[in-house]
Structure 1
Amino acid sequence: MTEMPPPPGMLALRRELGQQIRSGDSGGASGTLIKLVFQEDDRQWLEDKCLELLQHPDINLQEIAITAFGHIARIHGRLNRPIAEEALVALAAMRPELAGHIDDTLSDFEIFLQ
């Protein structure tokens, strides 16, 4: 089965997100990622992008990725939970200031993922 490319609108948002990340526009990237979470059908792409952003040195991008994981769980009702949890727990160990936010997202997983 051949994978279909994303619709033009989603492709444009994906490109916009990439440009914002590369240019250091974490505020713009945050808004664009949340738009994608609510509009993008490709859950795996969203998860991969969030995992990538958890590794980004900009704490603002890490924070929006944490939030986005919670939204993905709520909106899509599924995600690769073991991989997401492992990445979130690892980030909490490296950035204790994010631990409360990460705990909230892990709670979202408990609530919205069966």
Structure 2
Amino acid sequence: MMNYKSCPLTDRVTFLKTLQGSDLEAICSQMIGFTEYEADWKQAQNTILMCLRDPRPEVSALAVTCLGHIARIHGKIDKEIVKQQLASMHIQNDMQGRIEDVLDDINYFAQ
């Protein structure tokens, strides 16, 4: 059974500070909170794009998902930049499906 856990409202400065640490649960929770609550879609997009290069697979995988959330929440995303960044990722087999889902979300929700 899955349990819903609310993510904290997180600003960019707080998230980036947490991202430098090693607490993966806090990083992931704050990444979702930042993605959901950041009013500036471009700021959210650019911050999450940085996370694609994080060496921790939990962080980079969640960053992929968060890009889809940005498209869904804001109805906007820079499709060319995001698609280019996703295409240039060193893709592990378990990430391919996630990336395809996010690209579908971007194409459906973003202008």
Instruction: Give the TM-score range, shorter chain.
Output: 0.7 to 0.9
Q: Counterpart in 2 of 1:57?
A: 55
TM-score by length of 2: 0.83
Contact 2:11–2:38 (CA under 8 A) maintained in structure 1: no
**SS of alignment partner, residue 77 of structure 2:** coil
Q: How do 1:29-40 and structure 2 match up within 5 A?
A: 29-40=27-38
Counterpart Cα distance in 2 of 1:68 and 1:94: 17
Higher mean C-alpha displacement, 23-32 vs 75-84: 23-32
Structure 1 residue corresponding to 2:67, chosen from 50, 61, 69:
69
Contact 1:20–1:26 (CA under 8 A) maintained in structure 2: no
Q: CA RMSD in A?
A: 1.6
Q: How do 1:22-33 and structure 2 match up within 5 A?
A: 22-33=20-31
Counterpart Cα distance in 2 of 1:110 and 1:96: 22
Contact 1:51–1:65 (CA under 8 A) maintained in structure 2: yes
Aligned length: 103
Contact 2:15–2:34 (CA under 8 A) maintained in structure 1: no
What is the deviation of 1:24?
1.9
Counterpart Cα distance in 2 of 1:13 and 1:75: 16
Q: Which runs of 5+ in 2 are unaligned?
A: 1-8
Counterpart Cα distance in 2 of 1:42 and 1:52: 16
Higher helix share: 1
Q: Which runs of 5+ in 1 are unaligned?
A: 1-9
**SS of alignment partner, residue 56 of structure 1:** coil
Aligned residues with identical type, % of pairs: 26
